[in-house]
A = this chain, B = another copy of it.
Amino acid sequence: MSLKRFLIGEPLETAREKQERLNKVMGLAVFSSDALSSVAYGPEEIFFALVLGGTALLSYSIPVAIAIVVLVLIVASSYYQTIHAYPSGGGAYVVAKDNLGTRPGVVAGAALLIDYVLTVAVSICSGIAAITSAFPGLYRHRVLLCVIAIVLLTLVNLRGVRESGKLFSIPVYIFIASMFLLVGLGLVKIFSGQAPGPAAAAQQSSLVQIFPLFILLRAFASGCATLTGIEAISNGVTAFRPPESRNAGITLIYMALILAALALGITFVSYHFGALPAKNETMLSQIARMIFSVGPIYYVIQFSTAFILILAVNTSFAGFPRLSSIMASDGFLPRQLANLGDRLVFSNGILILGAIASLLVIIFRGNTHALIPLYAVGVFLGFTLSQAGMVRRWFSLKGAGWRRNALINGIGACSTLVVLIVITFEKFTRGAWMVVFAIPVLVWMSLRVKRHYLSVSRQLVIQPDYHETEFKHHSVIVPVSGVQMAVINAIKYAKALSNDVAAVYISLNPAEEAQMRADWEKYGMGVPLKILESPYRSITRPLLDYVDQVREKYPDGIITVLLPEFVPSKWWQHLLHNQTAFIIRGFLHFKPGVVIISVPLHLQK
């Protein structure tokens, strides 16, 4: 208890739940970390795919990057419309559920939940890679570092850091500025002929001659990781100052432009500086080293990269618990996920996210590149369902300019659907199959959970005759194992409940039984003692059989089993007593129509 308080702080009052409203500058800082941080691994993934076909193919990195930038702009325009249509926040789950129905909504929700988990895993691995690029000695401790980072972020989020625009905006803008400085200085060096030039086009894999398009598709599919996080603003429209939709929309446009510029710029500079994917140094670190050499600016770039990636993780730590609480309120996930914890955060969701992400990082040995194939499937499934939902919405509302709006969202939906198909086929064998398997399982479980909750609420509906059914007979059974003060107290309580009280004694041993009879004669207060034989020394079976006999005798009656208990004063003393009352209670819990009473006697020492 006090450890919990030390780690996450004192409980907060419900009344303190309110949100600070953000202007555009802060809004960009708060919501763009997930999207912008993608430039730390997105462009590198393009090179990783191309280099498999030989360095000769690397020049295709630029057209591939252009295709991705076009996709960024299409998706951003599409989400711009969502922001205006859903000023109260339009996550893929809400949009798909509203417009396409329950099942597509749950599919989008499942895809998004998986996406959040993967965002944490990928961003942590990539952030720690920025650090280990600067300090190569730490490389072999990367899994441990990742897990420590996740544990710290889990604790921070359990304490409940409100998205603090002021605090977070500085490092985000340092990151943006340093990236533009990197790209700008890189371009200057390239056009003034100071760049080392592209990597020598030495070898070309035979794969290329057979499947050139295949390699390009793979590069495109891999680079699509750059788009992750672009939907963040549409989830958080309410956090902006009024007019919320307008401010959020403008922020989205800025973010998309910065993302497009950086993704293209970094790819271009990386190509012309001859950077290549390496196991223990990121390409971003390589070009930063070549442009600034290892000095203060280099370290600023590495640390701000790590920091923005960790902020991206934080976005998931806000998003996953929020989405799972919405889905839990709708009955698709266990109800506990909808509980606001004592620090005003959805603690259960935070803990589950931290645990699964840690597991992923450990299984994938902290390798960003190995996690990426799992990543984009959920993201693009969410994109597609969300845009398709928007199209459907325009068709049913038919407001002003609905054809144009439907067209924009339609293009978004179609292009993300194509990308989804490409990614799924392309990356299926390298990990995407896990997500393709996990999403339907999660959807099936969610629907099953919903069905259970519906069935429970139907069974708990108040019957019209609820105040009529009075119970005819009340039988009270008191299991006793000897005569002492706890039993005396229990019997006195039982006599106040009903006239039909029976003490029940399980006989294990004739000598003890005789003693018990004699004692009961003296102290039994007129309550009959029923002695049950137990040839197999079981306490529960004869008792349960006796309950059944009483039930047969009074089919309309109610049966109460009253357990005399004593409660030791110290925890270890519990180990010294047969947990008979506890076990009996466990068995009776599953017996319909039996009320269980504990009459405890508290011991002093």
Given A463-B485, A485-B462, A599-B595, A578–B536 Cβ distance below 8 Å? Answer: no
- Interface assignment of A602: CB less than 8 Å from any CB of chain B: yes
Given A15-B535, A589-B567, A484–B460 Cβ distance below 8 Å? Answer: yes
Would you give the shortest CB distance from A484 to chain B, in whole angstroms? 4
Residue of B nearest to A570 (CB): B452
How far apart are the CA atoms of A604 and B460 in the complex, in Å?
11
How far apart are the CA atoms of A566 and B457 in the complex, in Å?
11
- Interface assignment of A336: CB less than 8 Å from any CB of chain B: yes
How far apart are the CA atoms of A597 and B334 in the complex, in Å?
26
Would you give the shortest CB distance from A216 to chain B, in whole angstroms? 47
- Interface assignment of A467: CB less than 8 Å from any CB of chain B: yes
- Interface assignment of A549: CB less than 8 Å from any CB of chain B: no
Taking a contact as CB atoms under 8 Å apart, the answer to whether B474 and A461 are in contact is: no
Would you give the shortest CB distance from A203 to chain B, in whole angstroms? 45
Which of chain B's residues have a CB closer than 8 A to the CB of A457?
Answer: 484
Taking a contact as CB atoms under 8 Å apart, the answer to whether A449 and B598 are in contact is: no
How far apart are the CA atoms of A400 and B455 in the complex, in Å?
84
**CB within 8 Å of B: which A259-295 residues:** none
**CB within 8 Å of B: which A542-557 residues:** none
**CB within 8 Å of B: which A118-156 residues:** none
Taking a contact as CB atoms under 8 Å apart, the answer to whether A460 and B576 are in contact is: no
Residue of B nearest to A604 (CB): B459
- Interface assignment of A12: CB less than 8 Å from any CB of chain B: yes
Given A456-B568, A567-B589, A576-B453, A462–B488 Cβ distance below 8 Å? Answer: yes
In the complex, the count of this chain's copies comes to 2
**CB within 8 Å of B: which A586-605 residues:** 589-590, 592-605
Of B341, B525, B566, B575, which one neighbours A456 at CB under 8 angstroms?
A: B566
Would you give the shortest CB distance from A106 to chain B, in whole angstroms? 16
Would you give the shortest CB distance from A438 to chain B, in whole angstroms? 18
Would you give the shortest CB distance from A129 to chain B, in whole angstroms? 37
- Interface assignment of A356: CB less than 8 Å from any CB of chain B: no
- Interface assignment of A395: CB less than 8 Å from any CB of chain B: no
How far apart are the CA atoms of A508 and B605 in the complex, in Å?
38
Taking a contact as CB atoms under 8 Å apart, the answer to whether A576 and B335 are in contact is: yes
Taking a contact as CB atoms under 8 Å apart, the answer to whether A596 and B595 are in contact is: no
Taking a contact as CB atoms under 8 Å apart, the answer to whether B601 and A460 are in contact is: yes
Taking a contact as CB atoms under 8 Å apart, the answer to whether B466 and A485 are in contact is: yes
Taking a contact as CB atoms under 8 Å apart, the answer to whether B485 and A461 are in contact is: yes
Of B334, B471, B488, which one neighbours A466 at CB under 8 angstroms?
A: B488
Which of chain B's residues have a CB closer than 8 A to the CB of A592?
Answer: 600, 602
- Interface assignment of A573: CB less than 8 Å from any CB of chain B: yes
Taking a contact as CB atoms under 8 Å apart, the answer to whether A598 and B604 are in contact is: no
Which of chain B's residues have a CB closer than 8 A to the CB of A214?
Answer: none
Which of chain B's residues have a CB closer than 8 A to the CB of A534?
Answer: 14
Of B342, B452, B578, B605, which one neighbours A335 at CB under 8 angstroms?
A: B578
- Interface assignment of A538: CB less than 8 Å from any CB of chain B: yes
Would you give the shortest CB distance from A572 to chain B, in whole angstroms? 9
Given A592-B602, A598-B595, A576–B462 Cβ distance below 8 Å? Answer: no
Taking a contact as CB atoms under 8 Å apart, the answer to whether A336 and B578 are in contact is: yes
Of B13, B339, B497, B538, which one neighbours A536 at CB under 8 angstroms?
A: B13
Which of chain B's residues have a CB closer than 8 A to the CB of A602?
Answer: 590, 592-593
Which of chain B's residues have a CB closer than 8 A to the CB of A493?
Answer: 558, 595
- Interface assignment of A166: CB less than 8 Å from any CB of chain B: no
**CB within 8 Å of B: which A66-108 residues:** none
Taking a contact as CB atoms under 8 Å apart, the answer to whether B342 and A462 are in contact is: no
Taking a contact as CB atoms under 8 Å apart, the answer to whether A334 and B596 are in contact is: no
Residue from the set A14, A470, A567 with the largest chain B CB neighbour count within 10 Å: A14
How far apart are the CA atoms of A12 and B470 in the complex, in Å?
44
Which of chain B's residues have a CB closer than 8 A to the CB of A496?
Answer: 471, 474
Which of chain B's residues have a CB closer than 8 A to the CB of A567?
Answer: 589-590
Of B335, B461, B523, B605, which one neighbours A577 at CB under 8 angstroms?
A: B335
Which of chain B's residues have a CB closer than 8 A to the CB of A577?
Answer: 335
19 A-B pairs with CB atoms under 8 Å apart are A11-B538, A14-B535, A15-B535, A334-B575, A339-B578, A342-B538, A452-B568, A452-B576, A456-B603, A457-B484, A459-B603, A462-B488, A467-B492, A470-B492, A592-B602, A595-B597, A595-B598, A595-B600, A597-B597
Q: Kindly list 20 other residue pairs between chains A and B, CB separation below 8 angstroms, not including A460-B484, A474-B496, A595-B599.
A: A11-B537, A13-B535, A14-B509, A334-B575, A339-B578, A455-B605, A456-B603, A459-B485, A459-B604, A462-B484, A462-B485, A462-B523, A471-B492, A493-B595, A567-B590, A585-B598, A589-B600, A592-B600, A592-B602, A597-B598
